[in-house]
Structure 1
Amino acid sequence: MDRYAQLFILGSPRSGTTFLSRLLEQTRYGKPIETHFITKYHKKLPQYGDLSKKSNFNRLMRDILAERPVQQWRLDLDLNDFFDRVSPDYRYGNIVNQLMVYRHGGRDGVSWGDKTPHYIGDAERLFDLFPEARYIYIVRDGRDVALSLLKKEWGPSNTVSCAEYWARQNSHPAVQDRLYRGESVYFLTYEDLLAKPAETIRSLYEFLGESVDPDKLDALIKETQAANSFKWRQTMSPRQIRQFEALAGGVLKRFGYPVISTNPRLRFLEKPLFHIHEKVSKWLFLLKTNLVDGALIRFFGKEPFNK
């Protein structure tokens, strides 16, 4: 798989992964996209058996092609031809590479990028599948992440759930271990990207082995919005700040973010009540997604993941 180069942007949702992908569009990787299927089907591989057998290979590919994000690519993929293209290397990593090559027009040796947020929870699988890939890990102040997540119907529905989610997403041992060892992972904060765009973008491009000319750098800098950070200071209530810092204060401190509450703690029954609220909200969202949106996608041509 050394003919290919992969780039993965790791970061919890609403941490700037989409913005970062736009800044990297001019690199050989292009604008990283969300695939969503890579780690999901890596976990399921035992169900498919020997992928060098065409029947098993086709079953896997049909399932991948049926995934909503992949449907949006509108691939006209002949499975028999694709089986021959992958030959003789039927390892899952090569299958993914060849599918991404096909998506980019079939040119051999294509480099590609991915920014699927939830992959941060399965980073160890990515490290195993793509050991030569480059990884960029972006972190944003969890309180700003919470404010953004609370506006999304698919996200956590309250501050307590946001704090637990953000802390969990940014505490995975495989990622932290690579950071400490300095291996193939570039770390940055969303706030540094906004506050020091020229310095950060140059450093990013250098990490990727890319050059950026002054005119392009100026254009990239204009895309940054320094005011889009630390909004929680003006927007979050003292109660929300206390709740978030009670659950995620240690992770905030690890990344250099200030904790302003004095000895923050959750009050009696706050946590279980918010957990109940989260479960009900998630159930209602899944009901809408699976029934209502599913029907709109199937019968009325709605784009999957169009928000």
Structure 2
Amino acid sequence: MRPPPHILVVNGIKVRRPVFLLGAPHSGADLLARALKRSPGFHVTMGRSGMAHVVYAFARKPSIGSGHGATRVIRDALAESWQVLPGVCGQCPPTCQEAGGVTGVGPCVATSTVTRFGDASPDLIYSAQALLRAFPDARFVQLIRDGRDVTTDMLADPACLAWFKPGMLAEDTEFPNPFLGVNREEHRERWKGMTTAGKCALRWRGAVRLSATLRQELPPEQLLTLRYEELAQKPAETIGTLSGFLETRVSKVALYGPRVPEVGTWRLRLRPIDLVMVERVAKEELTRLGYLK
């Protein structure tokens, strides 16, 4: 039995049923975050520095995130991120500022309008268990996208590629390591010699395996899984499903920002040699999810 939730209060507002958006890199969590940020009552953050430090510490060393102190650490990080103060938006990354329509230093919301909190920091999926312990009433929305499209976008993203330097698998690295997709220590050298596309596929594979675990552990009223492809091709239906899950109105118009959701771009942008590697590394997951026949 889970312990009763300790209610966090931010700016005099009780944090109840916070929403966390999860997914592998470039799987669409940022698109949903944009929609939620512009929906009535929501205050959603995306990658504030304090939260980012915690997320990547938990991702690179899973034992930290499973420790007793992780609950307090992640609650404190979110409490700081969710503060609504003059100038606070100036501390947010450009993606968060743009998603919230901020043209100055903010804040992007007024405390009088906030009823729900959320976070869509990149790679938040690796902190899912710590978030659940910190907020037992939380709602999780996870995005699944074709690993070939994910790899294609990751290969064009310097922030993603920065994690693939050989030094990232240091001597003190813990295994299994879902963040880099490496299951055993004996695979360390093999990972270092892999192509960048292969490493991207491993990251996608590790993330979708975590997503599958969450689906087994959480009840349907607490976890919603959406497909990026449906979000792109049937936005009204997908947003309707999300609105029903969160029991609130979510803006569909806000989905259409600078980046328009696309499906199947790997067919034009992914080199044949990289496609072979991705389908070899992630064949099981691509097949299970229906992307590879």
* TM-score, length basis structure 2: 0.62
Match among 8, 28, 34 for residue 22 of structure 1: 34
Match among 231, 235, 241 for residue 193 of structure 1: 231
Residue 43, structure 1, aligned to residue 64, structure 2: yes
Once residues 65 and 206 of structure 2 are traced to their aligned partners in structure 1, the CA distance between those partners, rounded to angstroms, is 23
Match among 17, 20, 45 for residue 32 of structure 1: 45
Gapped regions of structure 1 (runs ≥ 5): 50-89, 260-307
Deviations 1:149-186 (A, max 9, x none): 1112232461111111110121126424236x425111
Name the structure 2 match of 1:4.
15
Structure 2 letter corresponding to 1:4: V
Contact 1:93 1:130 in 2 (8 A): no
Structure 1 letter corresponding to 2:156: K
- 1:177/1:46 Cα in 2 relative to 1: closer, same or farther (>3 Å)? closer
Residue 248, structure 1, aligned to residue 282, structure 2: yes
Name the structure 2 match of 1:102.
83
Match among 134, 151, 160 for residue 156 of structure 2: 151
Q: Which structure has more RCO (C-alpha within 8 Å, separation ≥ 6)? A: 2
Deviations 1:122-171 (A, max 9, x none): 31111111111111100111111111111122324611111111101211
Once residues 258 and 246 of structure 1 are traced to their aligned partners in structure 2, the CA distance between those partners, rounded to angstroms, is 11
After superposing the two structures, state which structure 1 stretch, 168-177 or 133-142, moved more: 168-177
Contact 1:11 1:137 in 2 (8 A): yes
Name the structure 2 match of 1:129.
134
Once residues 190 and 46 of structure 1 are traced to their aligned partners in structure 2, the CA distance between those partners, rounded to angstroms, is 32
**Greater helix proportion:** 1
Contact 2:21 2:141 in 1 (8 A): yes
**Rg: which structure is higher?**
1
Shift of residue 193, structure 1, vs aligned partner: 0.2
The DSSP-based 3-state class of the residue aligned with 1:10 is strand
Once residues 116 and 198 of structure 2 are traced to their aligned partners in structure 1, the CA distance between those partners, rounded to angstroms, is 39
Name the structure 2 match of 1:257.
291
Name the structure 2 match of 1:13.
25
Shift of residue 16, structure 1, vs aligned partner: 1.3
Name the structure 2 match of 1:233.
267
* TM-score, length basis structure 1: 0.60
The DSSP-based 3-state class of the residue aligned with 1:175 is helix
The DSSP-based 3-state class of the residue aligned with 2:158 is coil
The DSSP-based 3-state class of the residue aligned with 2:31 is helix
Once residues 45 and 72 of structure 2 are traced to their aligned partners in structure 1, the CA distance between those partners, rounded to angstroms, is 23
Aligned residues: 214
Structure 2 letter corresponding to 1:33: M
Name the structure 2 match of 1:267.
none
Name the structure 2 match of 1:272.
none
Contact 1:194 1:225 in 2 (8 A): no
- 1:174/1:258 Cα in 2 relative to 1: closer, same or farther (>3 Å)? closer
Once residues 46 and 251 of structure 1 are traced to their aligned partners in structure 2, the CA distance between those partners, rounded to angstroms, is 29
Once residues 132 and 156 of structure 2 are traced to their aligned partners in structure 1, the CA distance between those partners, rounded to angstroms, is 32
Deviations 1:94-129 (A, max 9, x none): 534542443457959853211123221231111111
The DSSP-based 3-state class of the residue aligned with 2:160 is coil
Contact 2:65 2:130 in 1 (8 A): no
Gapped regions of structure 2 (runs ≥ 5): 1-5, 8-13, 87-109, 165-195
- 1:110/1:146 Cα in 2 relative to 1: closer, same or farther (>3 Å)? same
Name the structure 1 match of 2:244.
206
Residue 166, structure 1, aligned to residue 200, structure 2: no
- 1:227/1:121 Cα in 2 relative to 1: closer, same or farther (>3 Å)? closer
Once residues 125 and 228 of structure 1 are traced to their aligned partners in structure 2, the CA distance between those partners, rounded to angstroms, is 32
Shift of residue 244, structure 1, vs aligned partner: 0.5
Residue 178, structure 1, aligned to residue 217, structure 2: yes
Once residues 146 and 65 of structure 2 are traced to their aligned partners in structure 1, the CA distance between those partners, rounded to angstroms, is 34
Shift of residue 45, structure 1, vs aligned partner: 10
Contact 2:21 2:29 in 1 (8 A): yes
Shift of residue 31, structure 1, vs aligned partner: 3.7
The DSSP-based 3-state class of the residue aligned with 2:275 is helix
